């Protein structure tokens, strides 16, 4: 689960990490009061969406009058911000973070992720932070340091110094940075994060470190023990079909192809997608209806798949292990009648009573192609999608 920048910065403040003074507004008419409350004569206004790349897309602006904050809010609140990290529809902006403007001497990069190879958390740092970090990673990877760390390890100050050296920090900044790493690690562990990114981490004109951006991702499997973080869940930032699927306990990820996939089991779903790709097609989604492919779940899944206007054909690939294929076949027929599907459906059933299931499908008076071999079913779906 992702947090907004302002939520991430509130967590940073809780862990004694330096952030700018700021306020979040939901209505343009609150912009002037917010600027006055923050004080000073220069501010930065930042559209809050679950995506980076806002700076390059006009979602971050430096301003020198409260009226400009009103203008910015009027422009962006309720609008969708498209960045190179979003899809073509972009993300809706429902809040704006206004902050005092920092005089930046240098932009650095710092992040932390879980590294499965070393079974630890790894901090990633670079002296070349800011909006072009992807290019640094591509063109000058030697400017990036990866430092594994252990929780409550007495070597933590040593690790922090290793990173500080690559960031070219002076002695004073290294002291600040060492306590920063300590606090970030505590935050990472205590709040069950899976990713944390500060880009840019800046040195301001006074020579001090400051977290100018905050990207935080929480391990969704741990949300049950992070109720105060779960409160921050913002459904408006999720893909509507994915959110709908999650509510119905279906694993669904939308993709950009045109072959809708309905499969039970994550492994079979991936195998199905691979097979479609192998025959030159493109899956429109990953969908795992789960072990119990009941009529209710199947019809819910059809509805979610069909909300994607790109879908030209649906390939159903279900393995009857726990449930019998004849029951699944009946469920599919009932679901297809209920949802009133206008596009071709290819069904491949395998497992328990697969032959009876196939017979039921072929006798049903609806447009289904029952094909009992995955390669043939995938090939046919690719054909139909063209």
Strands 345-351 and 313-320: parallel
Any contact of residue 213 with Mn ion (CB under 5 A)?
A: yes
- Residue of minimal Cβ distance to ligand GDP: 55
Q: How many angstroms separate the CA atoms of 242 and 256, rounded?
A: 14
- The interface partner of residue 357, options being Mn ion, ligand GDP, none and the CB cut-off 5 to 8 Å by kind, is none
Closer to ligand GDP by Cβ: residue 102 or 299: 102
Stretch that binds Mn ion, among 69-77, 212-220, 333-341, 368-376 (CB under 5 A): 212-220
Any contact of residue 199 with Mn ion (CB under 5 A)?
A: yes
Q: Which of 45, 43, 39 is nearest to 6 (CA)?
A: 45
- The interface partner of residue 102, options being Mn ion, ligand GDP, none and the CB cut-off 5 to 8 Å by kind, is ligand GDP
Which is catalytic among the residues 109, 128, 350, 369? 109
| Least Å from the CB of residue 13 to ligand GDP | 16
Closer to ligand GDP by Cβ: residue 108 or 293: 108
Closer to Mn ion by Cβ: residue 20 or 199: 199
Q: Which of 361, 364, 292 is nearest to 326 (CA)?
A: 361
Q: 77 is written with which tokens? A: 């609140």
Q: How many angstroms separate the CA atoms of 343 and 229, rounded?
A: 42
Q: Which of 176, 136, 188, 182 is nearest to 159 (CA)?
A: 182
Q: 150 catalytic, yes or no?
A: no
Q: 197 catalytic, yes or no?
A: yes
Strands 345-351 and 80-81: unpaired
Alpha carbon of 320 to those of 218, 234, 352, 381: distances in Å?
A: 35, 37, 5, 21
Closer to ligand GDP by Cβ: residue 90 or 157: 90
β-pair partners for 107:
202
Residues of the shown chain interacting with ligand GDP in the complex, contacts defined by CB under 6 A: 44, 46, 52-55, 60, 62, 99, 101-102, 104, 107, 130-131, 199-200, 212-213
**What are the catalytic residues?**
109, 197
List residues near Mn ion by CB under 5 A: 199, 213
């Amino acid at each position: 689960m992702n947090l907004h920048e302002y939520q991430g910065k509130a967590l940073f403040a809780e862990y004694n990490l330096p952030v700018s003074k700021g306020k979040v507004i939901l209505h343009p008419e609150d912009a002037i009061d917010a600027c006055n409350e923050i004080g000073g004569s220069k501010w930065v206004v930042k559209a809050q969406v679950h995506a980076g790349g806002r700076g390059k897309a006009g979602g971050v602006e430096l301003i020198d009058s409260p009226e400009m904050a009103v203008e910015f809010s009027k422009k962006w609140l309720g609008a969708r911000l498209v960045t190179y990290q979003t899809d073509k529809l972009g993300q809706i902006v429902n809040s704006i973070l206004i902050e005092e403007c920092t005089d930046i001497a240098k932009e650095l990069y710092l992040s932390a992720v879980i590294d499965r190879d070393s079974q630890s958390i790894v901090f990633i740092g670079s002296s070349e932070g800011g909006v072009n970090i992807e290019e640094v990673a591509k063109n000058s990877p030697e400017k990036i340091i990866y430092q594994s760390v252990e929780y409550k390890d007495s070597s933590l100050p040593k690790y922090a110094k290793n990173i500080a050296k690559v960031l070219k920090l002076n002695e004073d900044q290294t002291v600040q940075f060492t306590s920063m790493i300590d606090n970030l690690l505590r935050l990472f562990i205590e709040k069950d994060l899976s990713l944390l990114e500060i880009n840019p981490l800046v040195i301001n004109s006074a020579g001090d470190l400051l977290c100018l951006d905050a990207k935080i991702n929480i391990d969704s499997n741990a949300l049950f023990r992070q109720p105060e973080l779960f409160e921050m869940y913002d459904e408006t930032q999720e893909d509507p079909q994915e959110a709908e699927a999650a509510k119905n306990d279906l694993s669904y990820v939308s993709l950009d192809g045109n072959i809708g996939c309905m499969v039970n089991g994550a492994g079979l779903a991936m195998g199905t997608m691979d097979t479609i790709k192998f025959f030159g097609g493109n899956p429109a989604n990953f969908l795992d209806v789960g072990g119990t492919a009941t009529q209710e779940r199947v019809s819910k899944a059809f509805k979610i798949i069909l909300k994607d206007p790109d879908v030209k054909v649906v390939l159903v690939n279900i393995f009857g292990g726990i449930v019998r294929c004849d029951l699944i076949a009946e469920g599919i027929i009932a679901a297809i009648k209920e949802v009133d599907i206008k596009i071709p459906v290819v069904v491949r059933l395998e497992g328990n009573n697969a032959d009876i299931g196939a017979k039921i499908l072929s006798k049903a008076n609806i447009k289904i192609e029952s094909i009992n071999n995955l390669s043939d079913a995938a090939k046919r779906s690719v054909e139909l999608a063209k």
